Structure 1
Amino acid sequence: MAWSVWTQRNQVRLDQPNCMLSEIAQPPPIDLYKINYDGATYDSENKSGIGVVIRDSHGSAIASLSQQLPRLCQATEIEILVATRALEYATKIGITDAVLEGDSLLVVQAISAATQSLSPLGFLIDDATSFNSFFNELHYSRTKVAYNLAWHARNLSNYVVWIEFVPPPSLFFFSG
């Protein structure tokens, strides 16, 4: 959180694109985790990157994921792919009650609608919504927390996962 605030401060100081403090992060309600995700594309390098941060109800980061992908998709497609990856990652570490947050209003609305989409991106949206059944409670919101992790992925050779929280062994089935 502090890193995001500091980055935004520097972007304002350097007159670069930035977001309002209220868009950076708010702790999730009690008994819910917040899953923030974002994707980035690097056209000149023909790469994409994804970033996921999972925080507890105190706002503390408990897990994160940063991964580089080949540049096979457009920005909206990357956003849907990273939302799917974020939900998959959360289920693999045992999260069952959460708020999913991304910065694309279009993607947040499409995934939260949970209806079959006939749009060209419908199959990607269906992949993301297929994880809904793994959650007891899942809400949707829009913000920009994982932006820096997605851009960090530009320099990775594979992917980076960090987990502070380790659920009981019966819930832990992370592989790959």
Structure 2
Amino acid sequence: MWRASHNLLPTADNLWRREILLEPTCQICKQGKETTAHTLLLCKAAKKVWRYAPFETCFPDAVNQDMLEIMVEMAKKLTKSDIEVMVAICWTIWYGRNKFLFEGKKMEPLLTISRAEAVVEAFRRVKQPTLDPEAKYSSKNQQVWSPPPDNTFKVNVDAAVNFDRQKAGLGVVIRDSSNKVKVAAVKSTLFTGDVQTAEAEAVEWGLVVAKSAAFQCIMVESDCQEVVKLINNNEGSRTEIMWVISEIQSLSKDFQNISYYHTPRSCNTHAHSLAKLALRNNETVVWLEPIPVEVESVLSSLI
């Protein structure tokens, strides 16, 4: 963003001004000069990405402004948290632009946004205040995702909710003992008004995905402690969530070995990232190994 604000990115317009390229035209949309603002905000590929931004965006004067002016203007309208996401989106758009120009890979708007949010989430985790050595040591096993034993697969699940649209996104990622992603899946569903029910539906979706992949020995992790307790204790009333819990317990019989665990959110970031992706995707998608590069890039941003 420092380079973008100083107009130092090697856009077609800048390279044309230095007589490196024969024309300054954007090679993605073929419409107008590829300036910094055009690349990051105005190109049709960039606009498709910004439609999925988690905050309202409007760049009406971007044609006549440089990126520094635009960033200052947006800083007055957005929260600090949103500005962080905006910067990450600009970076992922630039990354996607380079992938298209040099590798011929089309920019996927939903995955571009998810990658940006994953980058921000990883950055925020790194910037969290450091614990004292003893506390850090004692909580180490609880704060870092650990792989399953050999011949067992770990199924991490999570739900994300959009209350305004009454929609829930379910994310599933399945990894083996070497931390290799074997399956990733997203699904959007109607939000019934209860977050715990959405989290239980994420567990149920994880079992369906694991069963379809023919895994027999699995460990299921959710960051919703209440749901894990309900599954393990087999207790509860005839509420909506208990119907989902009943389905989970029924599906559990299809596996040779299965166990359920509560995990901190910091150990469940891959599933959370996919759940947020599912919120923007109206389709149910299951990616089997080999996982597409675009999905891998979203997940690798969290490592």
Query: Normalising TM by the smaller chain, what interval?
Result: 0.7 to 0.9
Residue 32 of structure 1 pairs with residue 157 of structure 2: no
Q: 1:131: which partner in 2? A: 251
Tell me: higher relative CO, structure 1 or 2? Use CA pairs within 8 A at least 6 residues apart: 1
Deviations 1:32-89 (A, max 9, x none): 1001100111012221100000111111110011111122341100011111111111
Residue 81 of structure 1 pairs with residue 197 of structure 2: no
Residue 65 of structure 1 pairs with residue 185 of structure 2: yes
Q: How does 1:24-173 map to 2 (within 5 A)?
A: 25-113=145-233, 115=234, 117-120=236-239, 121-143=241-263, 144-145=268-269, 146-164=271-289
CA–CA distance in structure 2, aligned partners of residues 151 and 23 of structure 1: 21
Relative to its length, the structure with more strand (as a share) is 1
Question: Does structure 2 conserve the Cα–Cα contact (< 8 Å) formed by 1:99 and 1:139?
Answer: yes
Deviation for aligned residue 1:141? 1.6
Relative to its length, the structure with more helix (as a share) is 2
Deviation for aligned residue 1:13? 6.2
CA–CA distance in structure 2, aligned partners of residues 70 and 117 of structure 1: 23
CA–CA distance in structure 1, aligned partners of residues 154 and 281 of structure 2: 25
Residue 9 of structure 1 pairs with residue 9 of structure 2: no
* TM-score in terms of structure 2 length: 0.48
CA-based RMSD of the aligned residues comes to 2.5
CA–CA distance in structure 1, aligned partners of residues 166 and 149 of structure 2: 39
Question: Does structure 2 conserve the Cα–Cα contact (< 8 Å) formed by 1:117 and 1:125?
Answer: no
* TM-score in terms of structure 1 length: 0.79
Question: Does structure 2 conserve the Cα–Cα contact (< 8 Å) formed by 1:117 and 1:126?
Answer: no
**Highest Rg: 1 or 2?**
2
Deviation for aligned residue 1:117? 3.3
Gaps of 5+ in 2: 1-114, 129-138, 291-303
| Number of residue equivalences | 158
CA–CA distance in structure 2, aligned partners of residues 43 and 138 of structure 1: 32
Structure 1 42/134 Cα, relative in aligned 2: closer, same or farther at 3 Å? same
- Percent identity reads 23
Report the secondary structure of 2:253's partner residue: helix
Structure 1 23/159 Cα, relative in aligned 2: closer, same or farther at 3 Å? farther
CA–CA distance in structure 2, aligned partners of residues 87 and 14 of structure 1: 34
Structure 1 8/55 Cα, relative in aligned 2: closer, same or farther at 3 Å? same
Gaps of 5+ in 1: 166-176
